[in-house]
């Protein structure tokens, strides 16, 4: 069988399937993990034990900055997330698949996919040459521009975020906290972030539904006095597809990770859902190849694991998009209520942030003023 895409999703699926089946993994770049497209903030559950050496540091809290100056500080008693060297993380994940027996096809990108009742024919371009690979099942882990998704006739994401970030050295910072900056002049449709990453700061933002390039917003953000002494050592850009769909499988084509629009609508993160979705996908594919089990079993599995959370979080995102800067300020002040703040600090989970939305709304019913219809659906 064939896996297209050598990121965490594709590598996980290929590693698990290679234990019992012949698997090839096509990676469009010559080196796994390059170029960098991610801020690298993940929970421990998204980092397998064998990839723990990619962890640069751990954080226990976040500071949310409103456009009008109010700051909400949330601090847990212990670590809530870790920051990974994303390039190293991807390399470890990819090589673990190869070590398990997956055949690497480097510099190979999917150009077209044709499925039939019995197999799938994938045309790969490698160093200018076209080659067709046939497989009983095709797992598409080929990111936001997924050729596999288009070929399967599955719908595109609802929202496509555009992101950019820079790594800065030479700055003093609190290694225990992530800072998030909100506001339409800062990052319309999303937020800006400042993340400690070992001996450097990772500063970036995403935007949505704006004609201005993310680089313009980042340039303005980096002009703040707090970054004046920083030395830019690298810059990266990418896109994040949001808005989970009803299905991630059609015929013999299955989607995981960004190809399946499994990124989290509130944080933009996708490592955990990519890895977990790949595990579930591999379970279904293994059953199909071994015993003829239906590939459609994949959909109810990922929906039960994280699909309901993604749908719920997308509804919360709709509320956020309707907030003016004044309403963002007001909302953060409501979150600073001691009871709500304690709930967020003790039970907040960046992999399942919407899971406590009902409890938060019951404790702070004034939040319903921002979008009564949507918020009622969360209770």
Q: For residues 45 and 87, is the Cβ–Cβ distance under 8 A? A: no
Q: Enumerate domains of the chain plus CATH numbers.
A: 2-38+86-157+245-307 (3.50.50.60), 56-84+158-242 (3.30.9.10), 314-378 (no CATH)
- Residue 376's pLDDT is 55
DSSP code at position 117:
S
CA distance 176 to 191: 20
Residue 110: count other Cβ atoms within 10 Å of its Cβ: 23
- Residue 371's pLDDT is 62
DSSP code at position 366:
G
Ranges of the chain whose pLDDT falls below 50: 379
Residue whose C-alpha is closest to residue 165's, from 230, 241, 262: 230
DSSP code at position 141:
-
- Residue 379's pLDDT is 45
- For residue range 149-204, what is the model confidence (pLDDT) as tens digits? 999 999 999 999 999 999 999 999 999 999 999 999 999 999 999 999 999 999 99
- Residue 247's pLDDT is 97
Tell me the DSSP string of 89-116: HHHHHHHHHHHTTPEEEETEEEEEEEE-
């Amino acid at each position: 069988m064939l896996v297209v895409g050598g990121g965490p999703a594709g590598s996980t699926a290929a590693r698990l399937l290679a234990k019992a089946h012949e698997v090839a993994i096509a990676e469009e770049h010559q080196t796994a993990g390059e170029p960098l497209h991610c801020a690298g903030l993940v929970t421990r559950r998204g980092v397998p034990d064998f990839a723990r050496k990619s962890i640069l540091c751990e954080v226990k809290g976040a500071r949310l900055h409103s456009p009008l100056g109010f700051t909400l500080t949330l601090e847990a008693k212990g670590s809530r997330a870790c920051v990974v060297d994303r390039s190293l993380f991807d390399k470890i994940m990819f090589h673990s698949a190869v070590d398990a027996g997956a055949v690497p096809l480097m510099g190979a990108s999917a150009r077209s996919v044709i499925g039939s009742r019995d197999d799938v024919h994938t045309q790969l371009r490698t160093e200018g040459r076209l080659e067709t690979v046939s497989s009983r099942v095709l797992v598409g882990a080929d990111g936001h521009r997924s050729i596999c998704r288009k070929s399967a006739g599955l719908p595109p994401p609802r929202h496509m975020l555009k992101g950019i970030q820079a790594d800065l050295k030479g700055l003093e910072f609190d290694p225990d906290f992530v800072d998030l900056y909100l506001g339409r002049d800062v990052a319309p449709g999303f937020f800006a972030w400042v993340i400690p990453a070992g001996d450097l700061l990772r500063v970036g933002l995403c935007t949505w539904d704006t004609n201005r390039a993310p680089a313009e917003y980042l340039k303005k953000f980096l002009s703040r006095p707090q970054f004046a002494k920083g030395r830019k050592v690298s810059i990266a850009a990418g896109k994040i597809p949001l808005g989970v769909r009803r299905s991630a499988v059609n015929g013999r084509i299955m989607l995981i990770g960004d190809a399946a629009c499994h990124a989290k609508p509130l944080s933009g993160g996708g490592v955990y859902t990519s890895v977990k979705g790949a595990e579930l996908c591999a379970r279904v594919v293994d059953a199909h190849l071994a015993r003829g089990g239906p590939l459609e079993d994949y959909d109810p599995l990922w929906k039960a694991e994280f699909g309901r959370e993604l749908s719920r979080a997308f509804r919360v995102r709709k509320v956020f998009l309707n907030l003016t800067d004044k309403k963002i300020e007001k909302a953060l002040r409501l979150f600073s209520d001691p009871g709500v703040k304690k709930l967020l600090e003790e039970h907040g989970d960046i992999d399942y942030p919407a899971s406590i939305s009902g409890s938060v709304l019951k404790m702070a019913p004034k939040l319903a003023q921002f979008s009564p219809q949507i918020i009622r659906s969360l209770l």
